[in-house]
Chain A
Amino acid sequence: MRRAALALAIIALVTLPYWIGGSYYINIASQILIWAVFALGLNVLVGYGGLVSLGHAGLFGTAGYAAAWLVAAGVGQLASGVGAIGLTVLMSALFAVLALRATGIGFLMITLALGQILWGIAYRWISLTNGDNGINVSARPMPLGLSLATPSAFYIATLMVFGLAVAAMASFVASPFGACLRGTRDQARRMTALGYDVWLIRFLAFLFSGFWTGIAGLLFCYYDQFVSPHLLTLSSSAEVLLMVISGGSGTLLGPIAGATLVVAMKTVASAYIERWNLVLGAIFVAIIMLMPEGLVPGSQRLWRWARRGRDLAAAATSR
């Protein structure tokens, strides 16, 4: 049953360019996948580590700007991509060293401040970042000589990276290290007494989170072929956090569902409703009131409840 559903989902995703009807929608699908990778990366900290970051857009933007600079400086595409990810992981390490002095609200405030510093640099250090005008990225990379210029080619490449991200998350969650991270979320003090280095576990989880955030930032930079301070705004950080929380933090599918919801609302609904922000807000309120644990765990709960109701009804009529 699960395997059939997974196979069906993969077939639907791979053939999406053929049935979705138009490059506009293919591009939206690419955006959803990119934000899903970003949300999956953040979910490592929020869902499994219990560490809520409001500065991840800074890391997302670091990858984008780094790639744009390196490409503009004439470095090869592959080296630029690797360099951008390396720099993002280094930046994550810096974020982690500063922010992991605290947990809870303290952690949130430090990450928020760090994210704002990076945004400030992108916005005001004009000689370096070209300020509000941003930086153009002349061309998308051509892995193995394949052009990613068309929407469907780029979509397929993004889908492959997304698949890797999901596989990496699934393996991480089921691994001993994943269990350790969840342990530090639930009982940090106990974990120390059991012999765990809680700080180091959180630090490594932050790097893992930063790595996938960087991958997402890199994809976005190639998708838009343009980076601007808008990537690093606090509202980007908040948006990706909302994706994680509304979909269901600490689950594999939750961040993907959240990314789908938010990007679809932003792009599709905004074409029909001018005040789409209001609709999105109403949806978030509804989720928090009806499914505080998020869409994916909430739907699972409803599904079990409905099935039990049906079984009970069947038992009552047969009696």
Chain B
Amino acid sequence: MIALEARALSKSFGGLRVSTDVSFAVEAGERRLIIGPNGAGKTTLFNLITGELRPDSGSVHLLGRDITSVPSRRRAHLGLARTYQIITLFPQDTLLGNVMLALLGLSPLRWNPIVRLTSQSALLEEPREALARVGLDGIADRPLAETSYGERRRVEIAMALAQRPKVLLLDEPFAGLSIPERRQVLELLLAIPRDTTIVMIEHDMDVALEFAERITLLHFGAVIVEGTRGEVVADPRTREVYLGA
């Protein structure tokens, strides 16, 4: 079964074509890596998939359903979650508060203006579990402002995991991390069960290649090469476009 599919997605900002006829399909449970030089249109592709940008033409399909005209917020309810390349968290809240907000987004309780948020035990347990999965349960009650960059990256992932997505989009989850931290995040990503399909954008080849099963190479907004890890790495066009050799 195909979990996520893009069909002939195109997008222009004025005269600049940022996505040209991008098509790809990700099988359920697959680990897909999207690579490409800066400005290749990788994050734009994510924004088209999540609905933050509307494509000029083409369509997006989630679990067999055409979601091209589904608003961004509804896509989260259909099982699509993402993390951001530039960390976008809630700085005035605790780590637990951040993850709770992720969980609350899918709960009807979010409209309740009367009950106390902190007395909703169902909303407390799952975020603690999600924080435990990324190894941050020890500092769950610490304000986000007092955490390190590497910890925030992991909070980003915990927020996405708390929503139990069917398809998870990771936008450069290793960006700005030290080498030991990269290993840590990689271990954590490898531990995500196969009922979650993962598409990852990443520059760091060492860790990303270990993670990916199939790779899609973008260049100037178009798919240049796609195949298994071995095929794409061996392909001369990859060397030409990306590795610059």
Interface centre among B73, B112, B116 (most CB of A within 10 A): B73
Q: Provide the residues of chain A in CB contact with B91, threshold 8 Å.
A: 186
Interface string of A191-211 (1 = CB under 8 A from B): 111111110000010001000
Partner of A179, one of B50, B74, B97: B97
Q: In the complex, are the beta carbons of B110 and A174 less than 8 A apart?
A: no
Flag B102-140 by CB within 8 Å of A: 1 or 0 each: 101111011111111110100100000000000000000
Contact yes or no, A171 B114, CB < 8 A: yes
Contact residues, B61-90 vs A (CB, 8 A): 72-74, 76-77, 81-82, 84, 88-90
Q: Is A187 an interface residue (CB 8 A)?
A: yes
Interface residue B92 (Cβ < 8 Å from any Cβ of A)? yes
For the complex, is A138 an interface residue (Cβ under 8 Å from B)?
Answer: no
| Nearest CB of chain B from residue A178's CB, rounded to whole Å | 7
Distance of A204 Cα from B110 Cα, bound (Å)? 12
Does B198 belong to the interface (CB within 8 Å)?
no
**A183 interfacial by beta-carbon distance below 8 Å:** yes
- Chain A, interface size category, equals 20 to 34
Interface check B59, CB cutoff 8 A: no
Q: Is B238 an interface residue (CB 8 A)?
A: no
Q: How far is A182 from B144 in the complex, measured between Cα atoms in Å?
A: 15
Q: Are A192 and B73 in contact (CB under 8 A)?
A: yes
Contact at B72–A178, with CB atoms within 8 Å? no
Of residues 168 through 227 on chain A, the ones whose CB sits less than 8 Å from some CB of chain B are 171-172, 174-180, 182-183, 186-187, 189-198, 204, 208
- CA separation between A174 and B100, bound complex, in Å? 13
Chain B contacts of A180 at CB under 8 A? 101, 104, 110
Contact between chains at B92 and A179 (CB < 8 Å): no
Question: Residue B117 contacts which of A179, A194, A204, A208 (CB distance < 8 angstroms)?
Answer: A179
* Chain A residues positioned under 8 Å from B213 (CB to CB): none
A193 touches B52 (CB 8 A): yes
Q: Is the CB of A171 within 8 A of B113?
A: yes
Which residue of B52, B100, B117, B118 contacts A189 across the interface (Cβ within 8 Å)? Answer: B52
Query: Could you list 20 A-B pairs, sorted by A, with CB under 8 Å?
Result: A171-B116, A176-B107, A176-B113, A179-B101, A183-B101, A186-B92, A190-B84, A190-B90, A191-B101, A191-B105, A192-B72, A193-B50, A193-B52, A193-B76, A193-B82, A194-B105, A195-B74, A195-B76, A196-B73, A196-B105
List chain B positions with a Cβ less than 8 A from chain A. Answer: 50, 52, 72-74, 76-77, 81-82, 84, 88-93, 97, 100-102, 104-107, 109-118, 120, 123, 159, 163
**Which 3 A-B pairs give the minimum distances between C-beta atoms?**
A195-B76, A194-B105, A195-B105
